[in-house]
Amino acid sequence: MSQRNIIEAINNAIDEEMKRDPRVMVLGLDVGKLGGVFRATSGLLDKHGPERVVDTPLAEASIVGASLGLAISGMVPVAEIQFLGFTAQGFHQIGPQLAKYRARSRGRYHCQVTIRAPFGGGITSPEFHSDAVEAQFVQSPGIKIVMPSNAYDAKGLLLEAIRDPDPVLYCEPDRLYRLGRMEVPDEDYTVPFGKAAVIREGDDITLVAWSAAVELCTRAADQLAAEGISATVVDLRTLVPFDVETLVGAVAKTGRCVVVHEAPLSAGFGAEVVATLANEAFYDLDAPIARVCAYDVPYPAGSFEAWYLPSVERVVAAARSTASR
Amino acid sequence: MTAVITKHSILNPDGTLVKGAKPKVGDELLLEMLRWMLMSRIYDERAIALQRQGKYGVFSPALGQEASVVGSAMALDPARDWIVPQYRELMAVVRHGYPLERVAANGMGRISDASRIPDGVNVLPNQVALAAQLPHATGLAWGLKLQKKDSVVMTYVGDGGSSEGDFHEALNLAGVMRAPVVFFLQNNQWAISTPSRRQTATPSFALRAAGYGFPGVTVDGNDVLAVYEVATEAVQRARAGDGPTLIESLTYRMSFHNTTDNPSLYEDPKEREEAKRRDPIERVIKHLAKRGLWGSEIDRETRASVRAEIDAALERAATFPAAEPGQLFEHVYAELPERVRKQRAEFLGES
């Protein structure tokens, strides 16, 4: 057992899996000597050599498209797209190609490909670097969407992703990369997909989130507790598969719910959460479900970021209002 | 800047050899090529007729491009090499081992596990999101090389597809990785109704290879001997570890884009007439006839045997399993997520 932050947990997971499985390789921009712009692949080039840790040309579509071909050849690629917002330049290779290849070949081929992509706001990065576009991929059946929020899950979910025979989009909360350390086992373990985590139990309201918004909800829950409102926090962990059972169970218990995400409000995955609860937890609800999300405007420059993103204050206000209805 | 483009050719349209040309293909192999070209031509005719009767889906014939399709595919060893097709190379994948009856069953909407690419046949599915197949081919070739396999990947694209961003990304990456891949660009002069001069301001697609650091070759795509030779050379180069080649095969689409298209709205009939004079099949027949290797009897016999083979494949295809509702949910994931399992149960009336 070691204390690790998220970036160290990710690095450890890839390193261990490359030792265990000679088919695993890493490719992307700057993943070699630099170790990635966030250093997630730091040291892997020296440990595993230039055939397995490969700096590619700056071209997202071919990073993903070549990963598909590499997988069919028998390799297990772990591709890095430097920022999730840059998947726009390769989207056609993710949704229409990678996600559908098993179906398009009627099962003759499958794509054991993991795409890692840092994302999210709060670090005043330049344009397109922070966009939380995870919901766009939910409309591409065939790919799994994984959103770790802490170092333990980051390692376990990444090992699960790399070993999954189907493609996985693994979105990393860059704001949390080095926020703190927690106990992360040195040994091999996986966190299964489609199992949401109830990371805090309360009686009055359920806060639902994934990725960096989980950290926000935890802080909001602390504040709410000081006000006498006890909150459950559910971390969905994966959007595809979507753990409806845990979600419905948690919301049924408190009767009230706030969904929090960094993506814009309209048609964000929060809409799916709310629609699902309306259908499956209708008679357990004591108040309308609230959503605290980014606004339906383009991701702004860093100086506007704090106004655009959901904040602890907004989550607390929404929870307070929902709890009192 | 004017680039010099040398077009490789061996057979003239009248079946004579180009001056100084020495074909490396023996008579037996040439006869085999002709038979495959006839298979392609006759299957196209049959599939179009079936489509008109409502028995076959939208179909894109290879009419006029048979030398391109067959000459390139025959440069490959199906046991170790791979084909990553676009969609107008049907006989290339059949020659590579994808049984015609399965291809036909798919065309007839009888799509199931029985009609998929068989295990051990090194062919990827057709691609209609044009040029999206090219990065796959590069990755596949790169991966085979990493695993020290003795394999080459041949992938197909058209003059239209070459305008896509994926074309650039795939060729660039292939050059950087020295991947054992051959990019076979069939310039059939048309992207549906858009002429090839709208795809590039340069006089040649093969020129682009220079920008990727590997050779680009132009070949008379209606000359099966020339296509086979340049393809064989490119395959040997790739196998030797010398990296990719871009081949531009100059041909002509002597039919519609597909069965929904109407070329009379955009094609000058003179162009089609001119193309017919360069017919890839007639050229080989004239060549063989001049050398006493082809005549009316062998012509009749070969066409009859090709027709019989196609008829048998079509008959078997018609007996393939018809579409079943539950197939909607097959092969989406290795294991269906709970949520999708529920949708499946609801759809099938289970609960």
Q: Check if A2-184 and A197-323 are the same fold.
A: yes
Round the CA-based radius of gyration of chain B to a whole number and report it: 21
Residue A94 half-sphere exposure toward CB, CA atoms < 13 A:
29
Do the Cβ atoms of A97 and B166 come within 8 Å? no
pLDDT digits (tens, 9 = 90+) for B164-173: 999 999 999 9
Q: What is the DSSP string of A195-250?
A: --EEEE--SSEEEEE-THHHHHHHHHHHHHHHTT--EEEEE--EEETT-HHHHHHH
- Phi, psi angle pair for B194, to nearest 5°: -90, 120
B216 touches chain A (CB under 8 A): no
Do the Cβ atoms of B113 and A96 come within 8 Å? no
Interface of A with B in 22-41 (CB under 8 A): 25
Instruction: Report the candidate in A254, A246, A296, A253 with the shortest Cα–Cα distance to residue A276.
Output: A246
User: What pLDDT score was predicted for residue B7?
Assistant: 87
Q: How confident is the model at residue B62 (pLDDT cuts 50, 70, 90)?
A: very high
Do the Cβ atoms of B169 and A102 come within 8 Å? no
The full set of domain ranges for chain A reads 2-184, 197-323
CA–CA separation, B208 and B216 (whole Å):
7
Please give, rounded to a whole number of angstroms, the shortest distance from the CA of A113 to a CA of chain B: 12
User: What pLDDT score was predicted for residue A325?
Assistant: 87
Flag whether pLDDT at B3 surpasses 60: no
* B318 burial level (CB within 10 Å; 0-12, 13-18, 19+): middle
Kind and range of the H or E element at B205?
none
Substitution target from A23, A52, A108, A138 for chain B, most B beta carbons within 10 A: A108
For chain B, give the percent of residues with pLDDT over 90: 97
In this structure, what DSSP letter does residue A108 have?
Answer: S
| Chain mean pLDDT for chain B | 96
The one-letter amino acid at A171: C
Do the Cβ atoms of B173 and A166 come within 8 Å? no
Instruction: Report the candidate in B98, B43, B41 with the shortest Cα–Cα distance to residue B67.
Output: B41
Interface of B with A in 151-170 (CB under 8 A): 165-166, 169-170
Complex prediction ipTM: 0.97
Class of domain B7-320: alpha beta
Using an 8 Å CB-CB cutoff, list chain B residues near A64. Answer: 135
Answer whether A255's CB lies under 8 Å from A285's CB: yes
Which one of B116, B125, B170 has the shortest CB-CB distance to A65? B170
Fold of A197-323: Rossmann fold (3.40.50)
Do the Cβ atoms of A97 and B132 come within 8 Å? yes
Substitution target from B80, B82, B83, B169 for chain A, most A beta carbons within 10 A: B169
Residue B253 is among the residues annotated as catalytic for this protein: yes
pLDDT digits (tens, 9 = 90+) for A104-122: 999 999 999 999 999 999 9
CA distances from B75 to B26, B184, B233, B239 (A): 14, 12, 9, 12
3-state secondary structure of B212: helix
3-state secondary structure of A26: strand
Mean pLDDT, residues A27-46 taken together: 98
Residue the block writes with tokens 């990827």: B124
Residue B266 is among the residues annotated as catalytic for this protein: yes
Instruction: Look up the pTM and report it.
Output: 0.97
Using an 8 Å CB-CB cutoff, list chain B residues near A70. Answer: 139-140, 142-143, 146
Do the Cβ atoms of B333 and A142 come within 8 Å? yes
Do the Cβ atoms of A102 and B113 come within 8 Å? no
The full set of domain ranges for chain B reads 7-320, 326-351
- Phi, psi angle pair for A193, to nearest 5°: -75, 155
CATH architecture of the domain with residue range A2-184: 3-Layer(aba) Sandwich (3.40)
pLDDT digits (tens, 9 = 90+) for B126-175: 999 999 999 999 999 999 999 999 999 999 999 999 999 999 999 999 99
A141 touches chain B (CB under 8 A): yes
User: What pLDDT score was predicted for residue B350?
Assistant: 82
Instruction: Report the candidate in A73, A155, A63 with the shortest Cα–Cα distance to residue A111.
Output: A73
A72 touches chain B (CB under 8 A): yes
Q: What is the DSSP string of A53-106?
A: EEEPPS-HHHHHHHHHHHHHHT-EEEEE-SSGGGGGGGHHIIIIIITTHHHHTT
CA–CA separation, A29 and A27 (whole Å):
7
Substitution target from A60, A73, A193 for chain B, most B beta carbons within 10 A: A73
User: What pLDDT score was predicted for residue B4?
Assistant: 52
Do the Cβ atoms of B173 and A97 come within 8 Å? no
Tokens of B156: 């197909």
pLDDT digits (tens, 9 = 90+) for A162-219: 999 999 999 999 999 999 999 999 999 999 999 999 999 999 999 999 999 999 999 9
Which one of A51, A70, A241 has the shortest CB-CB distance to B337? A241
User: What pLDDT score was predicted for residue B1?
Assistant: 39
Which residue in A has a C-alpha nearest to residue B165's C-alpha?
A61
Please give, rounded to a whole number of angstroms, the shortest distance from the CA of A11 to a CA of chain B: 23
